[in-house]
Amino acid sequence: AQSVAQPEDQVNVAEGNPLTVKCTYSVSGNPYLFWYVQYPNRGLQFLLKYITGDNLVKGSYGFEAEFNKSQTSFHLKKPSALVSDSALYFCAVSRGRDMRFGAGTRLTVKP
């Protein structure tokens, strides 16, 4: 069965600094990997996905993620954080219609 782990409950960064939100996965075969963001009392918004091809995936709002097969990781990154990026971030892995989510990482960007 596939799974993802988000090792950090909380990530704090200063505005303008680069940010990284970590995710590792476990799946047999080739993974489909996703990042979602959730603002308070809202549904999850899709940010980006990796299916195949280039290991660096670019998504919405300036976010990108790097797929690393040897380390089974799919970390979310942004070169310069904004206060408005403060939210809950979820990594997910899917095989077919079975999508598994990590526990989430709360990102706080301080001015």
94 binds other proteins (CB under 8 A): yes
For the stretch 71-100, what's the b/e string if a residue is b when 16 or more beta carbons lie within 10 angstroms of its beta carbon? Answer: eebbbbebeebeeebbbbbbbbbbeeeeeb
90 binds other proteins (CB under 8 A): yes
74 binds other proteins (CB under 8 A): no
Q: Which of 49, 72, 77, 82 binds other proteins (CB under 8 A)?
A: 49
Q: In angstroms, how far is CA 69 from the centroid of its own chain? A: 15
Distance, CA of 45 to CA of 88 (rounded, Å): 10
67 binds other proteins (CB under 8 A): no
101 binds other proteins (CB under 8 A): yes
> Do the strands 105-110 and 10-14 form a parallel or antiparallel pair, or are they unpaired?
parallel
Closer to other proteins by CB, 97 or 111: give it.
97
Question: What character string, x for contact with other proteins (CB under 8 A) and - otherwise, covers 23-42?
Answer: -----------x-x---xxx
Distance, CA of 103 to CA of 88 (rounded, Å): 10
Closer to other proteins by CB, 42 or 69: give it.
42
Contact yes or no for 87/39 (Cβ under 8 A): yes
Q: Which residues bind other proteins (CB under 8 A)?
A: 34, 36, 40-46, 49, 88, 90, 94, 96-97, 99, 101-104
